[in-house]
Structure 1
């Protein structure tokens, strides 16, 4: 275990201005706070925060971060409070430690919910001070290095969480070395057999290759030196997980992998990067399709480098990364490369803090991630959004104005539209890729120029969520879908309330509804909230009228709610307010202008309903209104629930071209050609069969139950009349729900 003076010396080795007193004080306090606590390995618990601090010294972090690392578990695992930490070490360190502390005693139903809430808290803390993330990543790295001491089931769960969340977070912050180690340690637990197989293969390759790595390093160095390019060349073996991921992505076997080794060429200037690339390509043949310029187009985590693959010395495929020393520092340490800010005189800033520069891509991405936290209504959604945002592989596309948009591989124009702006995504109706019209589900490729076509009348379809792969796009689509459904229910609620007021001789006034909200006794903030509840069937219109202090008799001399029922037609029973009106007086009815309107209406499947028929609606809480024809026997099930009855009237213009479903029952003789006679009538009369069910009605008959799509009741009656004339048709009837009404 590292001693106190050794830790201080390590920090002062890269930061001579480090506060020695602060480090000593944090070391002693944490050691005493954890006292006799023991880890699963049997080591003193204090060894863990000490190792976390040691990892952060390798990243050359400031003294406040090192102190926070030493103290990061004292609030969670000891009796220490944030107030004590703030008194002893100041608000800066207390804020860091608190950001790393899990939410305790939180009454959440599932482990997934607890994980989501703790991750939410962590990300919010990270957005305020990125050092919280650096300590958390070091904490997770040390836990993964010692994970063998935990139970097998717990090891797999922690490893999967590391692979899903923390390794990608390290990558998005540009900390490639830490990301690779976290991935590899996780891979060893998640898929031990694959890890073992690849490790053994690498060991054999090492033995077979001998000094090949050193020979290639030397050949590259000599070739660059011959051309007056000062460069350092480093060879490295790829990690097992990196190899596994490549095998999975390219669908190749381990034996087919030829680029196990990678080389980094470190030069002094950007000009030197391109000069080195030119000489490398002149000397060895480049592999087509394996060139990427991340200097011209940096990744979203600020990574910059030139990638190329050549057939190098000994005819081996050689992967090269060419970069400057500054780029290499950022590639390895990521945001930690910003660890110690200096003022104008070159001294460390007084508070030691190092929020990322405003122009940092990693900073912008992190702020964006925190912005979408509120989009997920459930822990599952939140975790999904977070994981979707932690992508690695990217494609770079352009707007028509030349702005660069980085997206995950596999992204579509839908993702592109939302990456530009949420309003662009919500109003998107089409796109042009490289000047040509293309489907919105087209997978984008590097260099594509994407133009989004918008319409103010557009609302994103819920089905888009299946084609979007970014968290931002999916979150926005879900939000727009929820808002569209809410608007539908609010529209229906307004229709219901307007009709109810009309029956009492009043006109609808949003101001009167707003004034009545406090009297409803519910947490309703706006009139639209109340209308949506009415439309969803969760708030009765009579309760709103009562809150609005609307009194008086409904038209016709009786109140709108309840009253005796009487018969209309052959088998129809309606609440009095509906039954008193004949088929002509429909002034208070809600108009039904088709099924593609803005109201949440649907037609009853057991009967169907078509324009020209008298119809009513049954309001089901949370599902909207189901339309029934007045002869539907199913309606008797709602006799005792008058508040659910909604008066409806068709308002579909003739020749609209829209078809509506009607369920009919046809009995045919069991003879050759009977079914053909039925379908011939449908075809000749421009009707469409949506559904057909055929059952034996006896030895001589078959019963057909058909959902037929027709324009209106005249169209339906003409078809039914022609069916009756057919010699092999015995009877035709409308299905009323539990029996048939002969036509």
Structure 2
């Protein structure tokens, strides 16, 4: 275990002016508090926070971060208190230690929810102070290094969380070395057979090309030196997980991989980066399409380098990266390379917030903004993991603004990345000057122009096309708002009908006065609640007119009471249903197919259970239900605000028949109609009406209005008619 003076010496190597007294006090305090506690390995528990601190010294962090690392388990695992830490080390360090403790104290129902909530809390804590992330990543790295001491049944869960959350998060923050080691350890745990197989192949390749790395380093250094370029050249072999990921993503075998070896060329300045690149391209043949300039266009995490792939000695493809020492520090250590907090300890001021930093942290700021927009923990976890794992493409607006997006992003993602209002009003796009579909996958360097319309409402299906969390969340919000407006429109129509029936006058002012009695925040919310059948119209009448007395009535129709009418089996969004009395009061007997009711089937065939259906809000008519394939829907293509998502709600204990039309082309011969009617009867169909649509000397076209149980029943009838020798064609109208 590292001694007290050894820790201080490690810090003094990169920070000679460190606060030795503060570090010593934190070391002694943590050691005393953890006392005789043991880890699963049998080592003193204090060895864990000490190793976490040691990992952070490799990142050359400030004194306060080391102190937080030493203390990060004291509140959770010892009798230390927040007040005690505040008194001994300051309020700010106390806040950070307590924040790290709270990340672990979650008692949620499901593992997925717990993981999502942990990530939310972690990112919110990072937004307050980036040192939380540094300590959390170092903590996870040491836990992964010692995972074999933990109970075996926990290995997979911890490794999976590391691979899905912590390693990509380290990469997003530019800490590539830490990401590589986290992925290496997690991959070894999750896929031991694949790890062993790839490691064996790498060892065989190493044996075959023993001098390859040394040869390239020597030749490259000498060539650059002859051109007057001073450079530090280092080579490496890629890690098993990096190779595994490429084999999976590109669907290739080990032998087909071309860049197992990589080299870094570190020079003095940016100009020399480009000069060195030119020398290498003259020395070795380049591989087309493998040059990337991340200096002029940095990655979102601040990474900058020139990348190229060449065919080097031994006819082996190798990847080269050219960068300055400053770029190298950022590439290796990410946020830890930025001395954000130097000389901050002891000043008593507020620590810098994430919002005050550079565009390196734009992704994190956007993610934290998404937290405030109220998506569920599970949705947030899904969307954040999508963005963590994605490589990036860089596109431009017509004015030259650079937009970084995950690979696989579409113009929809681009529009929402520019601004939420741009995404919500997007109706089309031009990519590099050409009109292209909104589902087009964007590529590096594309110039994207978004075509907008104020009348546009983003359709819900966009959520399946978008790949960024920001776009998906915005689409869901817009969809919810559009649905709310639809329900509010329906609710207003219901209330107008009921108020007129009762001889009352409906006004927003009247509804405003009734809001407190109905526990609704606003008139639109009240109307939407009525539209969703959450607030009965009778309750609105009573709230608006305290002297109102309800009078019940029973309508008759087709020889049945009104209860017998309620057989309509579609529901829009939240189901419009309640007891019969409520439906009578609403004037909205949604289980009926009577034409004068607010919810009705479309003419000419309607729909039957089993059909995919949509509802259309029609002024003065309520909701009209159409099968999704109905040609009549074309008339509403430019009116997305009228569309409602609806679904069937058939009562299996009380089955009813639904109307549908079929068209039959039959031979003009005696008995043809009788055979058709018999076939329908044999399959339990009920004929409501028959008419001749067209007559010729040879054929008749007959339209039959049927009543069937569902789509399966209808198909059975059609098949039974189709096999008749006198029938040449049978099809469903609007089908």
Interval containing the TM-score (normalised by the shorter chain):
0.7 to 0.9
> How far did 1:668 drift?
9.1
Aligned residue number for residue 412 of structure 1: 410
Aligned residue number for residue 562 of structure 1: 552
Distance 2:20 2:86 in 1: 19
- Please give the secondary structure, in 2, of the residue aligned with 1:31: helix
Aligned residue number for residue 533 of structure 1: 529
- Please give the secondary structure, in 2, of the residue aligned with 1:273: helix
Aligned residue number for residue 618 of structure 1: 589
| Cα 1:207–1:664 shift into 2, 3 Å | closer
Aligned residue number for residue 720 of structure 1: 691
| Cα 1:625–1:472 shift into 2, 3 Å | farther
Distance 2:108 2:506 in 1: 43
- Please give the secondary structure, in 2, of the residue aligned with 1:290: coil
Contact 2:52 2:135 in 1 (8 A): yes
Aligned residue number for residue 65 of structure 1: 65
Aligned residue number for residue 279 of structure 2: 279
Distance 2:274 2:82 in 1: 52
| Cα 1:502–1:126 shift into 2, 3 Å | same
| Cα 1:278–1:733 shift into 2, 3 Å | closer
Distance 1:14 1:673 in 2: 100
Aligned pairs (5 A) from 1:272-671: 272-339=272-339, 341=341, 353=351, 355=353, 358=356, 360-375=358-373, 377-520=375-518, 522=519, 524-552=520-548, 559=550, 562-563=552-553, 565-568=554-557, 570-571=558-559, 573-574=561-562, 617-619=588-590, 626-627=599-600, 649=621, 663-664=659-660
Contact 1:665 1:704 in 2 (8 A): no
**So what's the TM-score if we normalise by structure 2?**
0.80
Which stretch has the larger CA shift, 416-425 or 506-515?
506-515
Aligned residue number for residue 151 of structure 2: 151
Deviations 1:241-270 (A, max 9, x none): 111111112211112223211000000000
Distance 1:85 1:212 in 2: 54
- Please give the secondary structure, in 2, of the residue aligned with 1:720: strand
Contact 1:695 1:703 in 2 (8 A): no
RMSD: 4.0
> How far did 1:650 drift?
7.2
| Cα 1:513–1:702 shift into 2, 3 Å | closer
Distance 2:169 2:505 in 1: 57
Aligned residue number for residue 735 of structure 1: 707
Aligned residue number for residue 232 of structure 1: 232
Indicate whether 1:27 and 2:27 are aligned.
yes
> How far did 1:426 drift?
0.8
> How far did 1:115 drift?
1.9
Distance 1:651 1:5 in 2: 78
Aligned residue number for residue 87 of structure 1: 87
Contact 2:694 2:702 in 1 (8 A): no
Contact 1:356 1:363 in 2 (8 A): yes
| Cα 1:352–1:243 shift into 2, 3 Å | farther
Aligned residue number for residue 686 of structure 1: none
- Please give the secondary structure, in 1, of the residue aligned with 2:389: coil
Indicate whether 1:4 and 2:25 are aligned.
no
- Please give the secondary structure, in 2, of the residue aligned with 1:83: helix
Contact 1:64 1:352 in 2 (8 A): no
Distance 2:439 2:170 in 1: 30
- Please give the secondary structure, in 2, of the residue aligned with 1:390: helix
Distance 1:665 1:415 in 2: 43
Distance 2:262 2:250 in 1: 18
Contact 2:62 2:341 in 1 (8 A): no
Give the gaps of 5 or more residues in structure 1. Answer: 554-558, 580-594, 605-614, 633-645, 679-692, 707-715
> How far did 1:6 drift?
1.1
Contact 2:498 2:587 in 1 (8 A): no
| Cα 1:509–1:21 shift into 2, 3 Å | farther
Contact 1:284 1:311 in 2 (8 A): yes
Aligned residue number for residue 259 of structure 1: 259
Contact 1:723 1:732 in 2 (8 A): no
Contact 1:696 1:702 in 2 (8 A): yes
Distance 1:665 1:454 in 2: 41
Count of equivalent residues: 651
> How far did 1:422 drift?
0.8
Contact 1:667 1:732 in 2 (8 A): yes
Contact 2:212 2:313 in 1 (8 A): no
Contact 2:397 2:403 in 1 (8 A): yes
Distance 1:231 1:668 in 2: 84
| Cα 1:545–1:88 shift into 2, 3 Å | farther
Distance 1:70 1:85 in 2: 12
| Cα 1:276–1:495 shift into 2, 3 Å | same
Aligned pairs (5 A) from 1:201-240: 201-240=201-240
Distance 1:138 1:165 in 2: 14
Give the gaps of 5 or more residues in structure 2. Answer: 578-585, 592-596, 606-617, 625-630, 636-656, 715-735
> How far did 1:139 drift?
0.5
- Please give the secondary structure, in 1, of the residue aligned with 2:309: strand
Deviations 1:104-139 (A, max 9, x none): 765532122222222211111100111100100000
| Cα 1:176–1:703 shift into 2, 3 Å | same
- Please give the secondary structure, in 2, of the residue aligned with 1:101: helix
| Cα 1:731–1:440 shift into 2, 3 Å | closer
- Please give the secondary structure, in 2, of the residue aligned with 1:37: coil
> How far did 1:210 drift?
1.5
| Cα 1:602–1:440 shift into 2, 3 Å | farther
Contact 1:340 1:353 in 2 (8 A): no
| Cα 1:221–1:56 shift into 2, 3 Å | same
Which stretch has the larger CA shift, 298-307 or 257-266?
257-266
> How far did 1:172 drift?
0.8
- Please give the secondary structure, in 1, of the residue aligned with 2:279: helix
Which stretch has the larger CA shift, 216-225 or 362-371?
362-371
